[in-house]
Amino acid sequence: MKNKGEESMNLVDRAWQIWPLLVHAARNRQTLTYEMIAQLTGMATPGVGGVLEPIQSYCLLNKLPALTALVVSKKSGLPGTGFIAAQDVPREFVRIFRHNWTALPCPGPAALAEAVQRLPSNGISLDEQAPSAKPSPSSPKRVRDQALAGKFESLRIHLQAQQAGRVRMTFSEIVDMIGVPLPQSAFTHRAWWSNPSDTSNRRHAAAWMATGFRVTDLNQDRESGWVVFERP
């Protein structure tokens, strides 16, 4: 049975608890893995990503360096798919390490709750939240495709960080990375994994094309599928 203190520890309370850990890491020019955050706070590792959202939202609204970039995957060394506050993660690390965090009071639970209410940010593109001057109707399929393409940014970051010229990834690994299921065509049409010269309408392919990788081999089995990316 949980005690009263554990029951009252909600998402923003946890975020408030994590803020000083991130500031300490920033001052020491360190990153923390999701597992380390879980051990330090007593949380379950899968729940850490969601707890970072109020901090990410607060930093975005207050134009602060993206403090949550310091929480990284043990495998990739990069933030998870919920992180959207910066595209150039290494450069963001520099901004975080240079910032004088001790001059900034730790935001309380109320401030963090207000931030995430004003600007939900867990894996949501800022472009998707910005009001359009000329709104145009979009089909459900187009909205779904655009959201999927945005999620592939995490794959681009992962591939960009690879030093090896050949990277093999299972479909399951890709799904875990982008945070959404692959579309049906990824399992049924090899063309979905092609390397088009024009990626304007193939934004998912732009994720690997932009890093110099090309798809060279493929297994489209739904359960055990994989793809090989290689740099020419």
Q: Using one digit for the tens of pLDDT, what is the confidence trace for 115-149?
A: 988 888 876 655 545 443 343 444 444 434 444 44
Q: Which string of DSSP letters, residue by residue, matches the chain?
A: ---HHHHH--HHHHHHHHHHHHHHHHHTT--EEHHHHHHHHT--GGGHHHHTHHHHHHHHHTT---GGGGEE-TTTSS--TT--S-S-HHHHHHHHHHS-GGGSPPPPHHHHHHHHHHS--SS--HHHHSPPSS-----HHHHHHHHHHHHTHHHHHHHHT--SSEEEEEHHHHHHHHSSPPPTHHHH-GGGG---S--TT-HHHHHHHTTT-EEEEEE--TTT-EEEEE--
Give the chain's mean pLDDT: 83
Q: Residues 47-106: pLDDT tens digits?
A: 898 899 999 999 999 999 999 999 999 888 899 888 989 889 999 999 999 999 989 999
Q: How far apart are CA 222 and CA 187, in angstroms?
A: 6
What pLDDT sits at residue 125?
52
CB 202 within 8 A of CB 196: yes
Q: Which of 108, 61, 91 has the alpha carbon at shortest distance from 157?
A: 91
Least confident of 44-53, 167-176, 178-187: 178-187
